[in-house]
Chain A
């Protein structure tokens, strides 16, 4: 069964600190992996997208890594800000003739406190 597991479930950090969120998946065949940020009550917003051949990708203070051999990804947030408080969701896609079947992770709820 295709699964995407994230850890930790929740995390509280001080403003200005760094943190790393983890994602393990069993989805196959793999097409791409995306990290989304979801503010409470809002739709997910894409942060990064990585294909099989990419090991790392950055978007401002967000850096995602991917190890396709071990089927693990991480999202590193540098110098956290209060506005980073949100759920971070790992989403893994399979291509089904271009229709892109996706499996969502359970999310990590991040709270940044002053």
Chain B
């Protein structure tokens, strides 16, 4: 069964460094999402992406964040200058035209 994949599974970075989190959505899906989950807290929506542009973003998704679909298969989340509070699990999700979003396994980001 096709699934969403994410790399890396874990990343440790220094505060102020740039990180790029990668996702490969399910191949025929059209809508893409990034979420984050701070340890012990609920999942939070970051951004949705459709037709090569951001369709919606939350207040969390400030100028430090950007998304890109560079080659038609990957979907990336870039954090330009990481802060301690960016430490979280980041989930990518994708969906076709229907209702169900399929989540990836997540990337655990730790900012020191």
Contacts and interface: CB of A to CB of B under 8 A. Distances in A.
Interface in B25-64: 31, 35, 42-45, 48, 50, 55-56
Contacts, number: 60
B100 A34 contact: yes
A107 B42 contact: yes
Given A44-B91, A100-B48, A105-B42, A32 B106 contact: no
A106 interface: yes
A97 to B, nearest CB: 8
Contacts of B101: 46, 100, 102
Contact of B103 (A44, A93, A103): A44
20 contacts: A31-B99, A32-B99, A34-B100, A41-B89, A43-B105, A44-B43, A46-B100, A46-B101, A49-B99, A51-B99, A89-B42, A96-B56, A98-B50, A99-B48, A100-B48, A101-B56, A104-B35, A104-B42, A104-B43, A106-B42
Interface of A: 31-32, 34, 36, 41-46, 49, 51, 89, 93, 96-107
B46 to A, nearest CB: 11
A101 B91 CA distance: 16
Among B35, B44, B103, the one with the most A-chain Cβ atoms within 10 Å of its Cβ is B103
A99 B55 contact: yes
